[in-house]
Amino acid sequence: MRRAARALLIALTGAATLTGCADRDLFLGGAPPAPEEAIRILPGDGARGVRANGRLEVRVPEGRLERVEVNRAGGSGRQPVAGRISRDGTIWRPVTDSLELASRYTVDAVAVDGAGRRTTRHTTFNTFAPPHRLIGFYSPESGATVGTGLIFSLVFNRPVLDRAAVERAVTVSARPAVEVAPHWFGHRRLDFRPRERWRPGTRLTVQLRLREVRTGPGAYGIQHKTLHYQVGRDQVSTVDAARHTLTVRRDGKVVATLPVTAGNAENPTYNGTMVILERHAVTRMDGDTVGFGAEYDIPDVPHAMRLTRSGTFLHGNYWARREVFGGLNTSHGCVGLRDVRGGGPDTPAGWLYRNSIVGDTVEVRNSPDRTVAPDNGLGGWNMPWAAWRAGSALH
């Protein structure tokens, strides 16, 4: 009897407990599911080695998504990934394939179920990190207005063994359309140019689709971006080393003739067509960095515009006598224009600097030196078109 009474008591107690739980769930609208069930995220939390084209989505089997934030951790802070929640509120996907290799991503999502209860979930994942990452460096940055002589040049951080694969992944197009041809200089540099200089007003689009492109054993590209440039007016500056002059033509009309001093007899200026690579309001010129030892070291050269990687500049010169400009060639290969210390805006050097942009063409004539090499700066304009096109890995 005592055992039966005890069994009955346990049964009743258990029934009461179950009834109590059932009543509570009914009152609250049911127990909420676990966050990982209420909000399902791909890739999974803590995933590693995710491919750039891997599946990225946030989904709810019931209810709706209220907010989703996906961010890439970067050196300059969080970089958001653009995405959209579907009309029915059940799924979020990125707008474009925007994952970067060798990166850490965070996903933060908030969902609301039918009873109005909110569930939050935070996950992280890491994308595939190639053992050898190929990066192409270029200048100027996207959005720049450039001169008609610009050659788009990519210099890679490591040798490219599969040059054809890389060439397929990089395109340069123009509006209005012209043929743009690639040319390899060795295994680390890929340049693009048309037959003739760009027409003023041309819009250039560069597409780098190097992400996950295999460039050699264990080496992969990681860049996936689109660059845009606007070609400005056509300006060509012609240096006559024998006459010691620089004549500026803009859209075919002479706008200025300036006195200059070019390279001396021992260090003449290169002949040929060059392009302004970069501009510096002031820079240091140290002869030791270009093979001239301690012959000069000037820490404050004004209005300097680089023409070659080997060290040829158009620049202001405040240390030479006034009669040198237009009369003598005294430099170590650069082309100097009269200036004042600190850079005067109304000096010949200041005027040229103010009226020049990256991509402008500079031609040097009547110098006793050889023609500048096609790979020294953007000297590719000195190469015949047939020879240029022959430098493609796909032809």
Pick from 370, 346, 343, 334: nearest CA to 239: 334
- List the alpha helices (DSSP H) in 234-282: none
pLDDT, mean of each 10-residue run, the chain (395 residues): 43 38 41 84 94 91 94 70 95 85 89 91 89 90 96 96 97 98 97 98 97 89 94 98 98 98 95 96 75 70 94 94 95 94 92 98 97 97 98 93
Rounded to whole angstroms, the Cα distance separating 189 from 143 reads: 22
pLDDT at 6: 47
Look up the CATH architecture of domain 235-379: Beta Barrel (2.40)
pLDDT at residue 290, as a whole number: 61
Q: Where are the alpha helices (DSSP H) in the chain?
A: 2-28, 35-38, 163-169, 348-354, 385-389
CB atoms within 10 A of CB 367: 21
**Is the Cα torsion angle 214, 219, 224, 227 positive or negative in sign?**
negative
Asked if 275 and 296 count as a contact pair (C-beta separation under 8 A), the reply is no
CB 99 within 8 A of CB 54: yes
d(Cα 36, Cα 40) in Å, to the nearest integer? 6
| H or E element that contains 375 | none
Q: What CATH number belongs to 132-232?
A: 2.60.40.3710
State the pLDDT at residue 31. Answer: 65
Q: Say what the pLDDT of residue 130 is.
A: 80
> CB of 35 within 8 A of CB of 118?
no
Residue 259 · residue 349 · CB < 8 Å: no
The 8-class DSSP code of residue 2 comes to: H
Q: How many CA atoms lie within 13 A of 127 on its CB side?
A: 23
State the CB neighbour count (10 A cutoff) for residue 2: 6
Q: What does DSSP assign to residue 224? A: E
pLDDT of residue 292: 63
Active site residue 303: no
Tokens coding 248: 């500026």
| Predicted pLDDT of residue 119 | 92
Please give the full DSSP string across 329-350, using - where no structure is assigned.
--BSS-EEEE--TT--TTSHHH
CATH 2.60.40.3780 fits 35-127, yes or no: yes
CA distance 295 to 332: 9
Query: In the numeric block, which tokens belong to residue 356?
Result: 């020049």
Candidate list 224, 244, 332, 334, residue with the active-site label: 334
* Type of residue at 294: A
Output the pLDDT for position 295: 65
- Nearest-angstrom CA–CA distance, 36 and 22: 24
Residues of the chain with CATH 2.40.440.10: 235-379
State how far the Cα of 60 lies from the Cα of 34, in Å rounded to an integer. 12
pLDDT at 357: 98
Catalytic residue from among 183, 244, 315, 332: 315
Instruction: Report how far residue 101's alpha carbon sits from residue 119's, in angstroms, rounded to the nearest whole number.
Output: 30
Which has the closest alpha carbon to 212: 141, 127, 142, 153? Answer: 127
The residues of the chain that CATH labels 2.60.40.3710 are: 132-232
Instruction: Compute CA distances 275 → 171, 202, 241, whole Å.
Output: 21, 18, 17
Helix, strand, coil percent content, the chain, rounded in steps of 5? 15, 40, 45
- Round to whole Å and give the CA distance between 19 and 183: 80
Q: What is the 3-state secondary structure (H, E, C) of 173-222?
A: EEECCCCEEEEECCCCEEEEEECCCCCCCCEEEEEEECECCEEECCEEEC
Question: Does 315 participate in catalysis according to the annotation?
Answer: yes
